[in-house]
Amino acid sequence: MKQGGQRVYRIPGLMLAFCFSVFFSSCDSYNFSQPQPVDKANIYEFPKEFIGQWFVEGDESKSYIVSKKNVLFIMYDTTRIVNGAWPKITDSGDYLFPPLPPYGSFKTIYYDSLKRPIDTIDNYLLREQYIYEIRSGRFLGKGFSYAIEKDTIIILDNDTICIDLGQNAFLRQLNKNLFVLNIRNSILGEDFWNNSDWWRLMLLEKKEDQTVNIWECTSKTEELSCMFYDRPSKSDIFYFDCQWTTADMLRLVKDGYFEISSNNYKVAKETRKE
């Protein structure tokens, strides 16, 4: 029978859905049964102050481009995969794994109880100038450009998520400077957890210095009575059935149920990354 002795690494940069999306900083998932706040109408255009390209202060591996009716989230990353099949067997009979994360292995070897190789599984496929991750043993992920350096494959991972304002994403206004971006999970690639009918929230705050703060739920939110189900895992997943008014949300922000997850600055057109 196939057996352990394996430590298969998957490259996080190749999976847009986890941690849930590239632009939520927390690996906790706060899912809402309906958009918030419940007393405001949907807004299907970004205010002009939001339009442009933005970078996260202190982390230029992510940026986003906001236009009138959509936002394009971009992730810049470089990931490394050790070529060959792993784990190997040393002269002393021990398993030899590839270097610790963020390195992954191009192939995985399965061994029987006597540490004899019985199967080899491909984790990635090379075709022309692109590399594809083989997911669940048969599905291909998105193709990325790559380079080879000795025994290491370096993936040039610039990935994007485009969210169009409409039925599955829209703004609701809290005050002059603070908006709630409601996003249905189905467009964040979370259908595999059957979360598609739930909503995620991001608060966008315009600042006088032409920066934008992004606010997210804190762990304190888990204490609210409208949180009715949680699913502990490697990251925690919480479900809420809330009907917050504008006044409720402003009070929650003031009382620490939301916190600033990033401060974002706009860049001039000529300095934008392509």
pLDDT at residue 94 in the model: 93
Helix, strand, or coil here: 222? helix
Q: What angle do CA 201, 204, 207 make, to 5 degrees?
A: 165
Cβ–Cβ under 8 Å, residues 54 and 266: yes
Phi, psi of 29 (to 5 degrees): -115, 120
Q: What is the mean pLDDT of the chain?
A: 84
Task: Write the pLDDT tens digit of every residue in 192-251.
Answer: 445 678 999 999 999 988 899 999 999 999 999 999 999 877 668 899 999 999 999 999
How many helices and strands (H and E) does the chain possess?
1, 20
Task: Write the pLDDT tens digit of every residue in 21-39.
Answer: 445 556 678 999 999 999 9
Average pLDDT over residues 100-107: 77
- Helix spans in the chain (H): 246-254
Task: Write the pLDDT tens digit of every residue in 133-185.
Answer: 998 778 998 899 999 998 899 988 777 888 999 999 999 999 999 999 999 98
pLDDT at residue 195 in the model: 62
